[in-house]
Amino acid sequence: MLVKQIIEAIESEVPLCYQESYDNCGLQIGNINNEVHCALLTLDITEPIIEEAKEHGCNMIISHHPLLFTGLKNITGRNYVERIVSKAIKNDINIYSCHTNIDNMHKGVNAIIAEKLGLINTSILLPKTNTLSKLYTYAPIDVADKVRNALFEAGAGKIGNYKECSFNTTGIGSFRGTENSNPTIGIAGGYRETIDEIKIEVLVEQHLQTKVLNALFASHVYEEVAYEWIPLPNVNQQIGAGMIGTLPNAMSEKDFLTFLKTQMKTDCIRHTTLFNKNIEKVAVCGGSGSFLLKDAIRAKASIFITADYKYHQFFDAEEHLIIADIGHYESEQFTPEIFKTILNKKYPNFATLLSNLNTNPVKYFC
């Protein structure tokens, strides 16, 4: 298996274009044409993780948190990042990271938290905008089906749980080829032609634009294909931050906190005042999610589960809901399972190994 094949499998499910602007996802160390024998899946990349990869013969590490956020000016072993880079290169270990792009996926980090908690009727808490475009194109009536099917096959026309969605309008198109043209209909340098056409409109997600455009050109009969991209500010219900869902059965606050502690394997939960009410609607955000508090309140969540809350930020709950900080590592510890699911689905015979190491730098004295 080549590095590029593994990357293609992951990014087909978790496109790189959905990472946040500050992030540094993708291949960090290695070469896309390197052969991979086994991949180690982990939350963080530490020196013990490199040793674990060596011990098990894994020459690729796939992590959630990137090793490199900023550029290195020196590699002299002064800190753990420089030492890891040096060891990875010396041992021919490729390193790939998938961070905020998988945070933002409907079936990503927050979905697995929701799954562990048994939440139902889940949806993105803060859907992203400006990730959708409308494609308009025009085709002769007798080839419109061919063009539509090619666009659908490339991924266009998806709206939530529906696919192959389009709007079609019949009209009359006109054109006149110049002396240098090679028209499908009419002759070069001839008269203006008119033809019955269908205007096809489909939604296209950001990561599929090139693929859809290539499908349009390959399926169309015209020498020059007329089309328009219109960026849309619509929210994308499949992409965004956080997740909200409901418990199948309401639980008391203390029972739910006990359940949360067990399911998320955490030694400590920091939380705001309890209200002696049942928990039913639950908002979650793996990692640092304080920026979503207002969205959780707006969605009428009973509790907001996340990490990295600072002292004064707890006051912001203002008795609208309970904030439950379960720890950064604890909230994202199951992310490597997503990588395993993706790779096993695409390449069932490829060897993947979930790390056995706890990379949490935070320890609790309870």
Percent above pLDDT 90 for the chain: 93
Confidence of residue 113 (pLDDT cuts 50, 70, 90): very high
Residue 366 lies in a domain: no
Question: Same domain, yes or no, for 120 and 91?
Answer: no
Separation between Cα atoms, residue 77 and residue 98, nearest integer Å: 25
Question: Same domain, yes or no, for 137 and 219?
Answer: yes
pTM of the predicted model, to two decimals? 0.91
Q: Which of 232, 255, 273 is at the close of a domain?
A: 232
Q: Which of 232, 250, 275 is at the close of a domain?
A: 232
Give Rg (Cα) of the chain: 25
Question: Same domain, yes or no, for 320 and 344?
Answer: no
Confidence of residue 190 (pLDDT cuts 50, 70, 90): confident
The confidence score (pLDDT) of residue 365 equals 86
Residue 243 lies in a domain: yes
pLDDT-wise least confident of 188-192, 339-343, 344-348: 188-192
Residue 319 lies in a domain: yes
Residue 298 lies in a domain: yes
- H helices of 16-79, in order, are 47-55
Residue 169 lies in a domain: yes
Per-residue pLDDT, averaged over 150-178, amounts to 95
Per-residue pLDDT, averaged over 346-352, amounts to 96
Burial (0-12, 13-18, 19+ Cβ within 10 Å), 107: middle
Q: Are strands 270-271 and 322-325 parallel, antiparallel or unpaired?
A: antiparallel
Range of the domain at 223: 131-232
Question: Same domain, yes or no, for 149 and 225?
Answer: yes
The answer to whether 257 touches 271, Cβ cutoff 8 Å, is yes
Question: Same domain, yes or no, for 123 and 265?
Answer: yes
- The CATH number linked to 296 is 3.40.1390.30
Per-residue pLDDT, averaged over 276-301, amounts to 98
Q: How far apart are the first and last CA of the chain?
A: 45
Distance, CA of 96 to chain centre: 15
Question: Same domain, yes or no, for 80 and 13?
Answer: yes
Cα–Cα–Cα angle for 103, 106, 111, nearest 5°? Answer: 75
Q: Is the pLDDT of residue 186 over 90?
A: no
- The CATH number linked to 220 is 3.30.70.120
Question: Same domain, yes or no, for 164 and 297?
Answer: no
* Torsion over CA: 213, 215, 216, 220 (sign): positive
Q: What are phi and psi of 342, to 5 degrees?
A: -60, -50
Question: Same domain, yes or no, for 11 and 41?
Answer: yes
Residue 364 lies in a domain: no
Question: Same domain, yes or no, for 312 and 243?
Answer: yes
The confidence score (pLDDT) of residue 160 equals 84
Residue 361 lies in a domain: no
Question: Same domain, yes or no, for 80 and 223?
Answer: no
Collect all residues with Cβ–Cβ distance below 8 Å to 234 and sequence separation of at least 6.
Answer: 129, 132
Confidence of residue 76 (pLDDT cuts 50, 70, 90): very high
Separation between Cα atoms, residue 129 and residue 280, nearest integer Å: 28
Q: Is 94 helix (H, G, I), strand (E, B) or coil?
A: strand
Question: Same domain, yes or no, for 225 and 246?
Answer: no
Question: Same domain, yes or no, for 150 and 181?
Answer: yes
Residue 349 lies in a domain: yes
pLDDT (tens digit per residue) in 212-257: 999 999 999 999 999 999 999 999 999 999 999 999 999 999 999 9
Q: Which of 176, 208, 232 is at the close of a domain?
A: 232
Q: Tally the domains of the chain.
A: 3
Separation between Cα atoms, residue 101 and residue 162, nearest integer Å: 23
